C-alpha cells in the first residue's frame, strides 16, 4: 500500500480504537497511529543496505520499481526482506506487548499495518509472491538456493 493510504487508514484505526477503548489514552492512540505507517521505514532500511544510498526519494522510487519487477517476474520474483513486515517481528512485538503497555500500542499499530499490507498484496494486487512474510523464508533462500 502507498504511504498516504496507510496514514489515512492508521488515523481512522487509531481514532476508532480511542473511541471504543478510551483507556488507551491519547498518547496510546498517537503511538498506534505513528506505527501504523512508520513501520514502512524498513523499506528504506533495505534500500540503504542494498544500494548504500541514503536518498529517501530514490528509495521510494526503488520501492515502486520493485512492484513493477514483481509483477513482471511473477512467482520467480525474490521479494526483499522488510524486517518489520515479518511474522517473526510481529511475534516478538506481541510477546513484548505482554510486559509493556507502550509495546502493546506498537504491536497494535504494526499488526494493523501488516494486515493491511497482506490484504492489499494478496487480495487487491493478487501478487502474494511480491512480499516476504517470514524472516525464515529469506534466510532459507539465501542459505540454500
Positions touching Zn ion (CB under 5 A) are: 40, 117
Tell me whether residue 26 or residue 119 sits nearer to Zn ion (CB atom): 119
Which residue carries 512480499 as its cell?
131
Minimum distance, C-beta of residue 48 to Zn ion, in the bound complex (Å):
17
Residue nearest to Zn ion (CB): 117
CB 132 within 8 A of CB 83: no
Tell me whether residue 32 or residue 40 sits nearer to Zn ion (CB atom): 40
Minimum distance, C-beta of residue 143 to Zn ion, in the bound complex (Å):
25
Distance from C-alpha of 139 to C-alpha of 116, rounded to nearest angstrom: 24
Tell me whether residue 21 or residue 119 sits nearer to Zn ion (CB atom): 119
**Which residues have a Cβ under 8 Å from the Cβ of 50 and sit 6 or more positions away?**
80
Amino acid at each position: 500500500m502507498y504511504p498516504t493510504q496507510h496514514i489515512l487508514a492508521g488515523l481512522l484505526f487509531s481514532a476508532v480504537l480511542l473511541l471504543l477503548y478510551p483507556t488507551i489514552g491519547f498518547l496510546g492512540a498517537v503511538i498506534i497511529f505513528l506505527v501504523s505507517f512508520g513501520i514502512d521505514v524498513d523499506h528504506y532500511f533495505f534500500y540503504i543496505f542494498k544500494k548504500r544510498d541514503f536518498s529517501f526519494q530514490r528509495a521510494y522510487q526503488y520501492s515502486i520499481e520493485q512492484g513493477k519487477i514483481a509483477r513482471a517476474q511473477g512467482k520467480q520474483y525474490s521479494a526483499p526482506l522488510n524486517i518489520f513486515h515479518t511474522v517473526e517481528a510481529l511475534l516478538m512485538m506481541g510477546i513484548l506487548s505482554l510486559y509493556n503497555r507502550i509495546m502493546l500500542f506498537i504491536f497494535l499499530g504494526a499488526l494493523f499495518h501488516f494486515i493491511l499490507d497482506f490484504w492489499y498484496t494478496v487480495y487487491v494486487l493478487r501478487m502474494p509472491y511480491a512480499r516476504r512474510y517470514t524472516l525464515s523464508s529469506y534466510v532459507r533462500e539465501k542459505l540454500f538456493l
